[in-house]
Structure 1
Amino acid sequence: MATGSARQARIGARVPAEVYETLCRAAELSGATVNQFLVQSALEKAQAVIEREEVIRLSPRDWSWLLELMENPPEPNARLKAAARRYKKAMQDDAGTSFDWTP
């Protein structure tokens, strides 16, 4: 449970001297402490990784194509109808296997 102040956690890492020197130089050039530089850099990278995994990007052409399909979907073909039947059957079969305990 959070209190009035923000909760914080500690992160530590051991790195070779050359890596540390590079990080120190970069931090100094950006006007930050090494810790500030590391946290900001790691946060930017983490946000990029999360965005890459969670966001779908479409070209304007692909977006138009998708929007058109959503607004005017094609009639379902035989394979889609068969898949829908299989799905309904699976959902009915699963409904009977749920744990239903009453005292």
Structure 2
Amino acid sequence: MLAHTSKRLTTRITDHVQEKLQAAADLVGATLNQFVVQAALEKADKVIESESTIVLTRRESLRLLELIENPPPRNEKFVQAQARYKRIKNGAGSTAK
């Protein structure tokens, strides 16, 4: 089953680049367009994953877990910010009714 396509991507490339891409597409039995789109999607997935993931060392992850389980005491600025957040949240909720 073919997916419905409605967008077009156009780019200019050198003969060398086109030849190389075509050779790779031929090796996997795909058209040049199919190959380029698949390669771009794979790269996009890697970029999105790498930008969406935080990598911590063992020491950092243990420290994070310690802070989650035993958070430091709340200082005055935190308490003020929390109260301001609750006021804004409650004020926004009451106007939506």
Q: TM-score range by the shorter chain?
A: 0.7 to 0.9
Amino acid at match of 1:94: A
Which string of whole-angstrom CA distances, capped at 9 and with x for unpartnered residues, describes residues 27-75 of structure 1? 06x8223345323321210101221232222222211111111111111
Q: 1:75-90 to 2 correspondence within 5 Å?
A: 75-90=73-88
Greater shift in the superposed pair: 50-59 or 66-75: 50-59
Residues 1:41 and 2:31 aligned together: no
After TM superposition, the score normalised by the length of structure 2 is: 0.72
RMSD between aligned residues: 2.5
Structure 1 residue aligned with 2:89: 91
Q: Which has the higher helix share?
A: 2
Structure 1 residue aligned with 2:66: 68
Amino acid at match of 2:86: K
After TM superposition, the score normalised by the length of structure 1 is: 0.69
State the aligned residue count.
93
Structure 2 residue aligned with 1:15: 12
Structure 2 residue aligned with 1:56: 54
> Which blocks of at least 5 consecutive residues in structure 1 are unaligned?
none
> Which blocks of at least 5 consecutive residues in structure 2 are unaligned?
none
